[in-house]
Amino acid sequence: MTVKKTTQRQGFKTNEFIVYPAHGVGQIVAIEEQEVAGLKLELFVINFVKDKMTLRVPTTKVAAVGMRKLAEEPMVKRALETLKGRARVKRTMWSRRAQEYEAKINSGNIVAISEVVRDLYRSDTQPEQSYSERQLYEAALDRLSREISAVQRITETEAIKEIEAALAKGPRRGGPKADEIVEEEAA
């Protein structure tokens, strides 16, 4: 019976921080049993402090929902390196790009989320973002900063500063040169 429970829990323990793709970083506060429709279920009780939300996930459904452990340090470094790259903005309709960005944010993949942050980032010299662009950028930045702060054991503010520093090291955005490059790529 104990062997079965550990395989179902897939190495997750109480007080451990995890990533739930649709909500970001949360903490397992308990593992409890509940009876639902006559069946006994073992559930992870996950607390998302910032969202003031508690989620109960059956231990058997962990893989199906995509719940995972926090990213390792090399993966965080890779995500921060991604931020330094050139923004890749496709010439498709905004609604389609917004769907793709939303899917990347909800994938729970730290590198995919950093791609969204990189692509939607606007420096002070660039034109304003639309409301929906800003919403997606902030959602991606929030997910990325929460995971980086949990992995590196720093505050979210420090994580955001680290993200912004990586973005600042990227190719200069704005100005005529960047626009010419984008036009050449589109041609």
Does position 66 have pLDDT exceeding 70, yes or no?
yes
Could you give the number of structural domains in the chain? 2
Domain boundary, last residue among 69, 98, 113: 69
- Shared domain check, 159 and 89: yes
Query: Which one is predicted more confidently, 186 or 59?
Result: 59
- Shared domain check, 131 and 100: yes
pLDDT in tens, 22-33: 999 999 999 999
pLDDT in tens, 82-134: 999 999 888 899 999 999 999 999 999 999 999 999 999 998 888 888 999 99
- Shared domain check, 134 and 56: no
Kindly indicate the confidence band of residue 69, based on its pLDDT and cuts at 50, 70 and 90: very high
The arithmetic mean of pLDDT across residues 160-171, rounded, is 94
Q: Coil, strand or helix: which one is 46?
A: strand
- Shared domain check, 140 and 58: no
pLDDT in tens, 3-47: 344 435 778 999 999 999 999 999 999 999 999 899 999 999 999
Tokens 């600042």 label which residue? 168
Query: Which one is predicted more confidently, 179 or 96?
Result: 96
Domain boundary, last residue among 51, 69, 87: 69
| Per-residue pLDDT, 173 | 53
CATH code for position 54: 2.40.10.170
Q: How many other β-carbons are positioned within 10 Å of the β-carbon of residue 118?
A: 23
- Shared domain check, 165 and 96: yes
List the single range of 18-27, 46-55, 138-147, 167-176 with lowest mean pLDDT: 167-176
- Shared domain check, 169 and 85: yes
Tell me the pLDDT of the chain averaged across its residues: 87
- Shared domain check, 128 and 49: no
- Shared domain check, 11 and 92: no
- Shared domain check, 144 and 174: yes
> 131 lies in which domain range?
73-186
| Per-residue pLDDT, 179 | 40
Q: Coil, strand or helix: which one is 89?
A: coil
Report the percentage of the chain scoring pLDDT > 90. 74
Kindly indicate the confidence band of residue 182, based on its pLDDT and cuts at 50, 70 and 90: very low
CATH code for position 107: 1.20.58.1290
Contact 95, 111 (CB under 8 A): no
| Per-residue pLDDT, 181 | 39
The per-residue DSSP string of 52-88 comes to TEEEEEEGGGHHHHT-EEPPPHHHHHHHHHHHTS---
- Shared domain check, 125 and 179: yes
- Shared domain check, 144 and 130: yes
Kindly indicate the confidence band of residue 186, based on its pLDDT and cuts at 50, 70 and 90: very low
- Shared domain check, 94 and 163: yes
Domain boundary, last residue among 23, 48, 69: 69
